[in-house]
Every structure is written in structure tokens, then in C-alpha cells.
Amino acid sequence: MSSLNRRELLKTAAGAFLAAPATIRTASAATRDIVVASLLGEDKPETRVWRFFADAAERRLPGRFRFRIVTNGALGGEKQVAENIRLGSVQASLSTVSALSAWVPQLQLLDLPFLFRDAGHLRDVVNGPVGEDLAERLAREQFIVGGYIDYGARNLLAREPVTRPGQMEGRTIRVINTPLHTRLWSAYGATPVGIPITETYNALASGVADAMDLTKSAYAGFRLYEVVPFMTETGHIRASGVIYFSAGFWNSLDPDTQAVLSAISSEAALYFNRLIVEDEAQSVALASASGATFLEPEDMDAWRAGARAVWSDFAPVVGGMSAIEAVEQG
């Protein structure tokens, strides 16, 4: 079994497990540890979703697994965790597609700025042929996709107010270290610097970077309102991601167990998306109470013009401009 997104599996075995929750018992099987990496703390969706997952797994596969959930980025940032997933020292985690595009460049289709209208638009795309194709590509790189998730929209964070793209000229911005994110902010005249998410607070506090972009939930989760108190609600990228597993771990499981974990993954993805919506509201309230200022962007035509240049540059990587336009119109 190379990918969790096989439709036939989900329609048959996994469907049966959802209809009548399964309990697979193997008396002779020892309890297996599943090391899970989470970037944030117990109160954030990134960790709460794994508590949900562990509880569901225990109900349906009693005694089979022990989830060892390591929080607060203790196992590193997304790319380090992904490397450990490939090596098998970490069995499961969440990741933005941005981080995994280092192995599957086609994932950058989901990262194109100003492509998705809203959460529903993104959901329709990842749950269709585009998502299936990307899951297959990830499986070939030893990443098994359990489900696609939506972290919310990325917005611009800065030490000083920035509402127009021309105001980014000459500023240093922390970016996810991918060609797409680097190209996007270069289009506005900024100087992109790749810094792991776990190191951004210090980088911004010390002036190594003047700005960055991030979701509202993570803005509060990393307490970045303390060092970049201005958020401009550009919503320029819909930050999609995955629940994913190590291929070595996944392929060691029997088909029945895979089917149960597949079903739980689908439920967990929906749960995560609900948590993010709730957490965004709480995060905005917390950041505002801590002195953050939320700004409306100006000159949206200019913001989108910079994004269109990125579309043109990355069209050959993600399947051509026709593929981008098909997603845009979907």
C-alpha cells in the first residue's frame, strides 16, 4: 500500500470502519510506539489533533499503539521533522505543503499566492484529482498522506505598519525557504531570508528580519505579536498542509490497520480544520489584547500583480498555466 489516498480503499474498508467502529485485537502483538512531532503546545490545533487521533486509535485498535507526542518544536522545524519522517525516527506529523515542496515541487501549485478564494475552494481542490496526484508523488518520497488540512490564510507580519506592496522595498522578510516564497517577496522588492519557524522569534526580535508571513493561529502560537506587532490581512496564500506518516511505518502495517488509521486520518483532518477556525478567533483576541494591530491592505491590484508574476514563473513546475487556471476557476 503506497498511499492513503487510494479511493478504492476508502470506499470499501475505511467506509466499513466508519460505519461500525472497528476494534482490531491481536493478542500477541506488542504495543508499538508512534513518535509524533508537533511544532506547538498542548492548547493549539497542531497538538490537539494528535490527542484526538490517539484517543480514536485506542478505541478502535485497543492496546496496539502508544502515541508519544513531542510538542513545542522539540524535534525541530518542519523540514527537520520531514527528514526524520523519511528516516523513520518520527512516524507522524503535520506539515505545510510549502515545507514538503522541497521533495515534491508540484506541491507549489497549492502555495500560489491569491489562487484560492476561500477554505471551501481549497477543500474541493485537495479532495479531487489534484490532491490524489500530489499524494501519490509524496508517497514516492516516503511521505504517506493521511489527509489534507487547512491552516488558514497567511498574512503579512511586520515590525512597522505595511499596507501597500511598495512599502516592502528594501525590507528583510523571513520566508519559508522555498523558491516560490522567495520569488513572491522578491517581486515586492523585499530581501527574503530563509529561517526555520522555531528561530523566527529571535530573528525578528534582534532585527535579522523586519517581517514575515504566517497564519493568525501560528502568530499567537509563537507569540510573534511581541516582536512583529502589525498584521496586514493580505490573505495572500491559503496555507494548506497534510497529516502524514513515515512510509516505513505505514508499510509495516497490515491492510486492516491501515484502513482504520486512514479513516481516523480523514476524521482528524476535519477536526483540525474546525479547530483552526476557532483558534483563529481566539488568536486574534489574544494578539489584540497584547498590543497587536490588525490592518487592511491597500492597493490590492498591486499585491495581485506581484502574485501573477509568480504564477508565470512557476507554471512549468506545477503543470502549466492551464493547470493553474483550472484550479483558479474550480
pLDDT digits (tens, 9 = 90+) for 117-145: 999 999 999 999 999 999 999 999 999 99
Whole-number pLDDT of residue 236: 96
Asked if pLDDT for residue 270 goes beyond 50, the answer is yes
What cell was used for 82?
Answer: 520531514
Whole-number pLDDT of residue 28: 41
Average pLDDT estimate for 287-299:
97
Instruction: Compute the distance between CA of residue 153 and CA of residue 272 in angstroms, rounded to an integer.
Output: 15
Sign of the CA dihedral with 73 first, then 219, 125, and 19 last: positive
What element of type H or E holds 68? strand 65-70
In terms of Cα–Cα distance, which of 175, 166, 236, 164 is closest to 204? 175
Give the pLDDT band of residue 156 (cuts 50, 70, 90). very high
How high is the mean pLDDT of the chain?
91
Asked if pLDDT for residue 8 goes beyond 90, the answer is no
| Domain ranges for the chain | 7-329
CATH 3.40.190.170 is right for the domain spanning 7-329: yes
Asked if pLDDT for residue 2 goes beyond 90, the answer is no
Asked if pLDDT for residue 27 goes beyond 70, the answer is no
